Structure 1
């Protein structure tokens, strides 16, 4: 009896163990199935996310393409609008004359090349009361408008500056002539030309094409036809369409607006107006547009400056001969927000070379190169060796932009540049 009871209990325990085992096993199978389901679900989710990312990426890429296309369309529309807007702009040429009977050389070229007398009226402002020069100008009749600076009184000049009397008269004449142009004749813009300048065939096209930039970009305050380093051997004559921004005011055929004159007229200097206008107080970090190949060339060896720089530099300036259709070109690359980043990137990605390597043509690779200067003396020394003008005005080297002077030498672009951490112009370098 006791034995049967023992067997029965054992049987019951065995059945219980079997039930527990089967229950646990079943649970493990269920968990395993659910784990597989979760893993499969995760894989499907990952695949879905990857596909969605791919779709999103393609969508974003398409959107970028559409945006860029619209930007391009907007630029083109703006160009068309700008050309229409400025097509009828009247831009007078203000010729500053005194006692050169050779003013006819300048006037003949201006009349020959101007495309439309109504769009480009010529105002000749004469100082000095020189009858022979007046007679020459009057021969042009209605082709030009002659005005005469009325104040011929002697100017009170400090004793130490008596020999620079001419610079005082020139400043007085410039101030009066610009006042007449902007306030009496009420023009919005003018191109100032000295009476000893030759002009290029595309002189008018150059200024008409760049005028919209001058009006729209507040970081510009002039457009100049002159390249101070525009000598044969320092320019790319085959790229006469190239234009640059420059911190250095070039003068010698330059365009300014009435707004700028309103800013300058009340503090106009008694003398040395061109050096004065280059001072930081007047420039205010603004730049000028200047060409690769000059659109003017001076033939005035004899003058107030007594031929300063003429024999070494000015007589070697190359005057452009090929007509460039600037009004049909996209010049928006000269706008500051576009120009600066590209210019700096190009300059400081250029390989560093020494003057001697450049001179001896020992550079084995193509492309632009860079010569570094750290001091005023180093700049002047290298500039002289290369044939560049080596002087500074208010710390700015001629043609310099962000301290960088761009020129061409033996078929390549060269940048005479400070370090990338350049801190700005130092007026004591003048």
Structure 2
């Protein structure tokens, strides 16, 4: 009898695969990558493979294929869905900031499940007061300490930037601990000077499947570099998410697979700008929100308050919680997103930055501002209150060179020509 059941399961599974392959072949180019996932199903039968089965099924279901799953697959999905929720640890990097209490209190306040979101605090600097505060949280956090307290070797002329060398070394050690020692499959990275929004955890847990399945993504970030209250849609923007070619940081998630790639070549300093280099990014994007899910209160630090008074303190922290588990994320898949986003942006009427600034546009609705040169971008960005710098040729929040903002109740896109050929490394 067991043999017959196995035979029926196998035949039902193969029939299911074949039906899906026929439908996929009729879809747009978007779905070609899913064929590979279908073949993965053929090898799934052992209990140890059921977690991967759930990931494949979720990917297929997100594209709304009108296929009735065999009963044993439906039952398996229900039985094992609770067992296969990925654990997403939060790694807090700290040094000598007693205000870490503010960050940890926020994380603990909004954390929905300690098992799904364990908190690791990695401390450098061996600062006694900060260490005592971290220890006071007991078993609510896992406290680890960077053992190497020696002075890093700094090139001539960069002695005043020694702190950046220590930070890069600490990141290497801390991330290695989470992925190698504790063997997690992904991590959410924050620093000890961040407040988080109430839906911080919902945001990351719901975008994780997208990150793990879309090879054109390499991170999810909670931060909008241009997220001032005057530049985002405070009323309707809470659920809005974007793809961005700019690595934002400040509350971000990566997978172990990416760390396998980055760890062997991790830099000695300036790790965030290193991440933004094309050799690391490899034309991959990050997901970022319209309204930030983190906000920094760290005016004093290694950067000596750079940008804080002029920009960072004005970043809007989301106050309207979104249950992202109920949001359809398929629009963020590259093929879907590019087709819709590019068509929408380049179909809009063109206006000038000065007219937008003075609200001198004689019609309602979204508009486009065109830039042709680096100076043209900077001029428009300054008029609109955007950050105007580039990293490896990429403007902050840019996607295919396009910046989305909200100003005076209107959606605006600052965009290059429609025949955009890619980022210019000299624009830095």
Output one character per residue of 1:10-64: Cα deviation in whole Å (capped at 9) or x when no partner: xxxxxxxxxxxxxxxxxxxxxxxxxxxxxxxxxxxxxxxxxxxxxxxxxxxxx9x
Unaligned runs of 5+ in 1: 1-62
1:94-105 → structure 2 map (5 Å cutoff): 94-105=91-102
Query: Aligned pair 1:257/2:255, yes or no?
Result: yes
1:147 is aligned, of 133, 144, 147, to 144
Cα RMSD of the aligned pairs, angstroms, is 2.2
Judged with a 3 Å threshold, the aligned counterparts in structure 2 of structure 1 residues 296 and 270 are, in CA distance, closer, same or farther, namely same
Residue from 388, 409, 413 that aligns with 1:390: 388
Query: Could you say which residue in structure 1 is the equivalent of 2:214?
Result: 217
Q: Larger Cα Rg: Structure 1 or Structure 2?
A: 1
State the match for 2:362 in structure 1.
364
Q: State how 1:310-349 maps to structure 2 within 5 Å.
A: 310-349=308-347
Q: SS of 1:88's equivalent?
A: coil
In the alignment, which residue of structure 2 is the partner of 1:51?
none
Deviation at 1:160, TM superposition (A): 0.8
* Equivalent in 65, 68, 72 of residue 74 of structure 1: 65
- Structure 2 distance, partners of 1:146, 1:368, is 48
Q: How far apart are residue 85 of structure 1 and its match?
A: 7.6
Aligned residues: 364
Residue 245 (structure 1) aligns with? 243
Question: Would the aligned equivalents of 2:371 and 2:377 in 1 still touch at CA under 8 Å?
Answer: yes
Distance 1:71 1:95, change over 3 A: closer
Matched with 2:42 is none
| Higher helix proportion | 1
Q: What is aligned with 2:121?
A: 124
Give secondary structure in 2 for the equivalent of 1:120: coil
What is the match of residue 40 of structure 1?
none
1:307-350 deviation line (CA, Å, top 9, x unaligned)? 11101110000000111010111111000010001000011001
Aligned to 1:119, what secondary structure does the other structure show? coil
Cα deviation per residue 1:202-230 (whole Å; 9 max; x = unaligned)? 00000011011000100000000000000
> How far apart are 1:126 and its partner, in Å?
0.2
For 1:241-288, what per-residue CA distance to the aligned partner results, in whole angstroms no more than 9, with x for missing partners?
000000000000000000000000000000000000000000000000
Structure 2 CA distance, aligned partners of 1:350 and 1:76? 38
Cα distance between partner residues in 1 of 2:108 and 2:297: 18
1:304 to 302, 305, 308: 302
Kindly report which structure 2 residues correspond to 1:78-227, keeping only aligned pairs within 5 A, or say none. Answer: 84=81, 88-227=85-224
Q: Aligned-pair distance for 1:74?
A: 2.0
Once residues 333 and 105 of structure 1 are traced to their aligned partners in structure 2, the CA distance between those partners, rounded to angstroms, is 35
SS for the counterpart of 1:74 is coil
Q: Distance in 1 between matches of 2:62 and 2:292?
A: 33
Structure 2 gaps, min length 5? 1-22, 29-60
Q: Is contact 1:86-1:212 (8 Å) kept?
A: no
Partner residue, 2:427:
429
More deviation, 157-166/363-372: 363-372
Q: CA deviation at 1:368?
A: 1.1
- The CA deviation at 1:181 is 0.4
Deviations 1:355-375 (A, max 9, x none): 122122222222210111111
Sort the Cα spacing of 1:75 and 1:295 in 2 relative to 1 into closer, same or farther, 3 A: farther
Choose the corresponding residue for 1:416, options 414, 417, 425: 414
Q: Does 1:232 align with 2:229?
A: yes
In the superposition, the TM-score normalised over structure 1's length comes to 0.81
SS in structure 2 of the partner of residue 107 of structure 1: helix
Aligned-partner Cα distance in 2 for 1:212–1:260: 15
Check whether the contact 2:354–2:383 (CA below 8 A) recurs between aligned residues: no
Out of 406-415 and 242-251, give the one that drifted further.
406-415
SS of the residue aligned with 2:65? helix
